[in-house]
A and B are shown apart, each in its own frame.
Chain A
Amino acid sequence: MAGIGKAIDEIHSLENLAERGTLLCRIHPLAKVLVTLWYLILVMSFDVRDISGLLGMAAYPVILMISGDISVRQALGRVRPILLTVCLIGAANPLFDRAPCLAVGSFTVTSGMLSMAALLLKAGFAVSASYILIASTTMEQICYALRKLHVPRVLVTVFLLIYRYLVLMLKEADRITQAYSLRSPGEKGIRKSAWGPLAGQMLLRSIDRANTVYESMTLRGFRGEFFLRGSFVPLWQSVCYGVLWGGVLLLFRLVPVFELAGRVFMP
């Protein structure tokens, strides 16, 4: 039950973040979506042990979080559950791959340790990039960008409708579970005899609501088109944002920035 309340809070906080009107929020959504995808592709294309190269890619989330006034703590909070899964899968690497790579005093760093560290870095960077996107772009703007990328209208409309009714449904689920828990104290979840009626009633009400929604939408002239609302920076600035980040990230992917910087001090 606490999970539902937390999910509602998360949605509201992300909505508020995306509507703040910072410079990053005012960049065209298509540019932000494309840069995010480009960043993810480049980060995931690094070799499993290339930590020095990967560290260079930290520039993107660090710069955008500082300039876009996005909380690092919240971003890290989102990374936590992902790190757990990645750790479970990556934990095997130090066990199976014990080839020594370097020695720090008496401690030997193995190839498996490096690959696990790289895996964790990749997971952290990927979640941060997605968080930056959603914290600076509203869901309507993402839908607009998806339409610009020629994603079918049906799919985008369904996506937007799910998002719009999500809070409503979550609140309903929260009310139902709260009412149930008040009537059956001490129970950890919904008991077997109530599985069907409880979720089934909710489902039937949802279908009825869907029909009402459809009628009101069509009466108001909805034809599945999306319009961009809000003030944005001039188009050329958004293009510059996309091209600049695209180029810088590619440079960071091809040139080991950290390694070169290290050589300056340790020739």
Chain B
Amino acid sequence: MHMADALVIPAVAGTMYIASAAAAGCSVKKVRLMDEPEKIPAMGVMGAFVFAAQMINFAIPGTGSSGHLCGGMLLTAVLGPWAGFLTMIGILLIQCLMFADGGLLALGCNIWNMAFYGCFAGGFLIWRPLMKRGITRKRIMAASVAACVVTLQMGAFSVVLETFFSGITELPFSVFAGVMQPIHLAIGLVEGVITAAVLCFVFEARPGMLWTGEAASAEREGRLSLRKTLVILTAAAAAIAGAVSLFASSLPDGLEWSMEKTAGTAELEAAGRAYEIAENVQGATAVLPDYGFSFSDSAAGTSVSGLIGGALVIGLCIVVCYALKFFRKGKS
């Protein structure tokens, strides 16, 4: 699944570099907060182990072919998702530089497709929920196979999207996805079973070595409080709503565009008493019709409408969160 440089354009590569760098930055912070210096050499040696183990051929019964273990899932199960993600980055960088397996420019894409999904989606969405009630052989099997299949599917779909957005192939999107997804479904199943076999052995030999998903105290300390999170979200929403909305496109959105293509107009005519009443109600309640002041076309109107809209959305989210919290308390 390693992408070569030729398959991406700089814009896509840059975007994926930024996304992967953000995930790496977050992981570095988490690893630092855990304050376990002995984990650093473990990450290095584990990375080298995964690299070497991936070169061992495991025979698939009845097929005549062979497979190898799933690096991201194995690292997450032993080191945890944050340290596992950083280790995977190291592996991918060495594969790219030493063995020309994946490009230097496409490294951001490869990190995202293989390390991000394998460690975070596999670790947090599949491994941790399944291991919450304690580790058993059956759960290791289920988590490993499910995580490998799901994360490989996500990775393969990302490859299709990145190639599609780069515009380097004339292959239709559906055909490309139709080829990539089934192949990686089979690979995921095989990799999952091999990874599960290794993890089951480790569980029997040293049960305490596997990551259970329990957050270390330092990791918990590193989390942002609800208040801090709300402040950051509010500031970000205000910045986006107030400043970025000035650059909002005047072109029709996707739905409007489709309507224009099919019906010849972006706004459909509606006649009847019910429509008139609804229009009057909307006219009376809309503070900022068409995202601006009703009395002027100034840019300030667009900014203010962005700010008010953002505040309303955040307010609504807070109300929903508190309502959910209230109902959950009532249940318990």
Contacts and interface: CB of A to CB of B under 8 A. Distances in A.
Interface of A: 1, 3-4, 7, 10-11, 14, 36-37, 40-41, 43-45, 48, 78-79, 81-82, 85-86, 89-90, 92-93, 95-97, 112, 115, 119-120, 122-123, 126-127, 129-131, 133-134, 139, 142, 152, 154-155, 157-166, 168-170, 172-173, 176-177, 187-192, 195-204, 206-207, 209-211, 213-214, 217-218, 224
B37 to A, nearest CB: 7
Nearest to B59: A189
B44 A36 contact: no
A82 B308 CA distance: 52
A42 to B, nearest CB: 9
Interface stretch (B6-14, B257-265, B270-278): B6-14
B97 A142 contact: yes
Interface string B44-71: 1111110111011111110010100100
Contacts of A134: 97-98
A11 B90 contact: no
Given A36-B104, A126-B103, A161-B47, A92 B171 contact: yes
9 contacts: A11-B98, A89-B7, A89-B163, A154-B32, A155-B28, A188-B64, A189-B57, A199-B69, A211-B38
Interface stretch (B200-208, B221-229, B319-327): B200-208
Q: Which 5 A-B pairs have the closest CB atoms?
A: A161-B44, A200-B201, A189-B59, A126-B5, A196-B201
B93 interface: yes
Contact of B59 (A93, A133, A155, A190): A190
Nearest to B31: A154
Contacts of B6: 44, 82, 86, 119-120, 122-123, 126
Contacts of A78: 99-100
A169 B51 contact: yes
B100 A115 contact: no
A206 B46 contact: yes
A119 B200 CA distance: 44
B168 A188 contact: no
A10 B98 contact: yes
B105 A41 contact: yes
Interface string B168-207: 1111100110000000000000000110011011100110
A81 B100 contact: yes
A79 B6 CA distance: 12
Interface of A is mostly: helix
Contacts of A4: 52, 55-56
Given A162-B94, A195-B58, A203-B202, 9 more contacts: A44-B6, A92-B170, A127-B103, A161-B90, A166-B52, A169-B49, A203-B198, A204-B206, A210-B41
A192 B51 contact: no
Nearest to B69: A199
A89 B206 CA distance: 44
Interface residues of B, number: 75
Contacts of B168: 48, 89-90, 115, 119
Given A4-B55, A211-B41, A112 B98 contact: no
Contact of A159 (B5, B94, B171): B94
Contact of A130 (B13, B78, B96): B96
Contacts of B59: 187-192
Interface string B205-235: 1100100000000000000000000000000
Interface of B is mostly: helix
Contacts of B19: none
Contacts of B41: 161, 210-211, 213-214, 217
Contact of B87 (A82, A120, A162): A162
Contact of A164 (B44, B56, B57, B167): B44
Contacts of A96: 170-172
A195 B69 CA distance: 10
B89 A131 contact: no
Given A4-B52, A161-B40, A95 B94 contact: no
Contact of A214 (B38, B86, B101, B105): B38
A177 B8 CA distance: 37
Contact of A79 (B46, B58, B100, B205): B100
A163 B61 CA distance: 33
Determine which residue in A37, A89, A97, A211 has the highest number of CB atoms from chain B within 10 A of its CB, and name it. A89
Contact of A209 (B45, B169, B209): B45
Contact of A200 (B9, B103, B202): B202
Contacts of A189: 56-60, 66
Contact of B10 (A45, A154, A166, A170): A45
A175 B10 CA distance: 42
Contact of B61 (A133, A176, A192, A218): A192
B223 to A, nearest CB: 20
Nearest to A137: B97
A154 B7 contact: no
B24 interface: yes
Nearest to B28: A152
Contacts of A198: 56
